[in-house]
Amino acid sequence: MSSGVSPTGAMSRQNVFVRDLTASIVVFLVAMPLCMGIAVASGVPPEKGLITGIIGGIVVGALAGSPLQVSGPAAGLAVIVFELVRQYGVVALGPILLLAGAIQFFAGVARLGGWFRAISPAVVHGMLAGIGILILIGQFHVLFDDLPKPNGVENLLAIPVSLFRLFTEAESTASAFTAGIITIVSMLAWERFRPANLRLIPGALVGVVLATLIAYALQLNLTRVDVPESIFSSLTWPTWAGFTELLSPQFIATALAVAFIASAETLLSAAAVDRMHDGVRTDYNKELRAQGVGNFLCGAVGALPMTGVIVRSSANVQAGALTRASTIMHGVWILAFVLGLPWLLREIPMASLAGVLVVTGWRLVSLDHVKHLYQHYGVMPALIWASTLFMVVTTDLLTGVLTGLVLSLIELLPHLRNLKLDVQVDRHDAHVELQLQGRATFLSLPGLTKILDDLPGEGRIRLNLAGLAQLDHTCTEVLADWIQRRRKAGTHLELAGVDRQHASNLHRRLLEVATA
């Protein structure tokens, strides 16, 4: 966790630079295998992911509203990109991302960033779990030197066939499987048993390096990463024919889906990063504008879409980064590596990258989220999570997300006549009192979060919930996160208007956080 020391405070500029430099190297080591692996999972050449990582680091890092968040290719968009490339080819990426980036940018200009925070955690985690399953079952086949199937159901049905191939087909199948298993086992073993003084070296890097060295030493016959001598030769510019295709409703719907999912994942990641450090808070609209610029540039050169990514961002914070310089420098290191050492990338087995993604996919399916939802909020949020996951796996990403959003709206049906939330801020000499009256639902979150963020960071705050007629699980999660962050920052926070004996599950959740 970051120390929260301000660069302009007691720490010298030289020490700040050293901290950021060290963190940037750690993030670079985490990002390299993930950038290539996510590109492979998306059905495009690995260099497409590296280009996105470079733009995400250098350009978005300089413009971002969340200084410590790292942007790059994300597993959350791999599934939708894979389907897009399968149907229309790689050339469709450019026009789609130009439009998606423009949508994100103007959404930030219109100050719509706060609305993405109103998406139910059940929908978001259900979507990520579904994506995790799709990545896992798709990359499972790459472990056997095969290609993923067109959709989740076909990938599931083909698993026995891939297993059978291990015993009946060419040497390359066994060699690829060996490289993939070496990667997975060494990743997990390193993360479990690594020495404390080497804790910042990522398991994914250890797994890929070890599998590559063994494949090289034994001259294993398997498929390796194919990257060009010059990364600039892989840049592809949008064509006029691509722009005319954008006029079709299906292309516009796809661009909207990419913009929506990328924005939601970015802003939720930014909120998680804010909980990891005590420094500058995220400006959500500025972050949305920066992501729009980044995705527009990715579209201009035919690269992968990007989001803010939590794995690389948490590595950045844990490595001690203090300013956006760390994110920018990590992009510079990726650029220097692909310009100077492309021959080294070409020794990496594809099955090794698949091993990294199998582990990544498995971790996205975290059952802890649905257990948390069920234990604290009851059956309906858990049902939203499960329904979103099921539809993502069996149909497509957009259908799954829309299913979750519709189910979230169904929760509001009994209260449609009055969904108003009144928030009153009373400033006294000794404290500030915040009174909530009416119904606190995800529809009221943009206004509520703005008021919460504007409250003083020090002193005493009294949160009075006596006038609340309803509190949904999305609002509860936001309030719980806000309470935890304020208490950690030293604010004395008191929860009032809640009868401990007869409190609902949602109120109990806030009581637990406020008294922890």
The 8-class DSSP code of residue 348 comes to S
In this prediction, residue 8 carries a pLDDT of 45
pLDDT in 10s for each residue of the chain, 516 residues = 444 444 444 467 878 888 899 889 989 988 888 899 899 888 899 999 999 999 999 999 999 999 999 999 987 788 889 888 888 888 888 889 999 999 999 999 998 887 877 788 888 888 888 888 998 998 999 999 888 887 888 889 988 988 888 877 677 789 999 999 999 999 999 999 989 888 888 889 999 999 999 999 999 989 998 888 787 777 888 776 666 666 678 888 889 989 988 998 898 788 778 877 777 888 889 999 999 999 999 999 999 999 998 888 888 888 888 999 999 999 999 999 989 888 998 999 999 999 998 998 898 888 888 998 888 888 999 999 999 999 989 888 778 888 998 998 887 777 667 788 999 998 887 789 999 998 888 888 888 888 888 887 778 899 988 888 888 888 888 888 888 888 877 888 888 887 765 566 677 778 777 776
Is the sign of the CA dihedral 44, 49, 50, 55 positive or negative? positive
E-strand stretches of 262-330: 307-309
Phi, psi of 62 (to 5 degrees): -75, -30
In this prediction, residue 185 carries a pLDDT of 97
Integer angstrom CA distances of residue 318 from 20, 29, 199: 11, 14, 10
In this prediction, residue 409 carries a pLDDT of 86
* CB hemisphere CA count around 185 (13 angstroms): 8
Closest CA to 438 of 421, 413, 461, 423: 421
E-strand stretches of 253-321: 307-309
Tell if the pTM clears 0.85, that is, is over it: no
* 3-state class (DSSP) for residue 460: strand
In this prediction, residue 293 carries a pLDDT of 97
Tokens standing for residue 110: 């219109």
Distance CA 310, CA 308 (A): 7
Fill in the amino acid letter for 160: P
Is the sign of the CA dihedral 313, 316, 319, 321 positive or negative? negative
How far is the first Cα of the chain from the last one, in angstroms, to the nearest whole number?
20
Integer angstrom CA distances of residue 289 from 39, 65, 68, 295: 24, 8, 16, 10
Question: Quick check: 46 and 226 in contact, CB under 8 A?
Answer: yes
Is the sign of the CA dihedral 287, 303, 156, 312 positive or negative? negative
Q: What is the DSSP string of 41-97?
A: HTTS-HHHHHHHHHHIIIIIHHH-SSTT-EEE--HHHHHHHHHHHHHH-GGGHHHHH
Distance CA 172, CA 178 (A): 10
In this prediction, residue 1 carries a pLDDT of 40
**CA 53 to chain CA mean position, Å:** 14
